[in-house]
Chains A and B, each alone.
Chain A
Amino acid sequence: MIELLRSEWLRARSRRIVAVLAIGGALGVVVGMTIGASQSDPPPAAAVRRAEMQYRESLDLCISSSVGDGDAHGLSQEELCRKSVRPGDFLASDSLTMDRFLGVLEGTASLLGMMTAVLGASLVGADWSAGTMGTLLTWESRRGRILAARATVIATVVLGLAIGLQVFFALAWWLATVARGTTLASEGWLGEVAETIGRVSVMGAVLALITAGLATIARSTAGGMIGLVLAIVLLDWFARGLRPEVATVGLIQNAIVFVSGVPAIIYDSAGQVAMVTAGGAAATLGVWVGLVLAVGAVAFSRRDVT
Chain B
Amino acid sequence: MSVIEIEGLRKEYRRIRGARTVAVGGLDLEVPEGGVFGFLGPNGAGKTTTIRCLLGMVRPTRGRMSMLGAEVPRGLSGVLDRVGSIVEQPALYPRFSGRRNLEVLGRLVGVGSASIDAALERVGLGDRAGDPVRTYSLGMKQRLGIAAALLKDPALLLLDEPANGLDPAGIVEVRELLRSLGNEGRTVFVSSHILSEVQQIADRVGILVRGRCIRSGPVHEVLAGGRAAGVLARVDDPDAGLRALGEAGLASERRGDLLWVEVAAVDAARVTRVLAERDLFVSELRADEADLETVFLELTREEGGSS
* Chain A residues with a Cβ under 8 A of chain B: 3-4, 6-7, 10-11, 14-16, 126, 130-142, 302, 304-306
Q: Which of A16, A135, A302 contacts B105 (CB 8 A)?
A: A135
Q: A7-B107, A130-B92, A306-B58 are in contact. Are A141 and B73 (CB under 8 A)?
A: yes
Q: A14-B100, A141-B80 are in contact. Are A134 and B107 (CB under 8 A)?
A: no
Which residues in A have their C-beta under 8 angstroms from that of B85?
138
**Within the assembled complex, what's the spacing in Å between the Cα atoms of A171 and B85?**
50
Which residues in A have their C-beta under 8 angstroms from that of B110?
3
Among residues of A, the one whose C-beta sits closest to the C-beta of B90 is: A135
Q: A3-B107, A10-B104, A305-B57 are in contact. Are A135 and B76 (CB under 8 A)?
A: no
Inter-chain contact count A-B, CB under 8 Å? 78
Flag if B77 contacts A304 (CB, 8 Å). Answer: no
**Within the assembled complex, what's the spacing in Å between the Cα atoms of A138 and B160?**
13
**Within the assembled complex, what's the spacing in Å between the Cα atoms of A181 and B176?**
73
Which of B56, B57, B81, B90 is the most central at the interface, judged by chain A CB atoms within 10 Å of its CB?
A: B57
For residue B4, give the distance in angstroms from its CB to the closest CB of chain A: 15
For residue B58, give the distance in angstroms from its CB to the closest CB of chain A: 4
Q: A16-B95, A130-B94 are in contact. Are A304 and B57 (CB under 8 A)?
A: yes
For residue B80, give the distance in angstroms from its CB to the closest CB of chain A: 5
**Within the assembled complex, what's the spacing in Å between the Cα atoms of A140 and B85?**
12
Flag if B87 contacts A134 (CB, 8 Å). Answer: yes
Which residues in B have their C-beta under 8 angstroms from that of A139?
80-81, 105, 108-109, 152
| B215 contacts chain A at the CB level, 8 A cutoff | no
Q: A130-B91, A134-B91 are in contact. Are A304 and B58 (CB under 8 A)?
A: yes
**Within the assembled complex, what's the spacing in Å between the Cα atoms of A132 and B77?**
18
Flag if B107 contacts A132 (CB, 8 Å). Answer: no
**Within the assembled complex, what's the spacing in Å between the Cα atoms of A126 and B90?**
15
Q: Which of B83, B91, B103, B109 contacts A10 (CB 8 A)?
A: B103
**Within the assembled complex, what's the spacing in Å between the Cα atoms of A266 and B90?**
54
Which residues in B have their C-beta under 8 angstroms from that of A141?
55-56, 73, 76-77, 80
For residue A13, give the distance in angstroms from its CB to the closest CB of chain B: 10
| B52 contacts chain A at the CB level, 8 A cutoff | yes
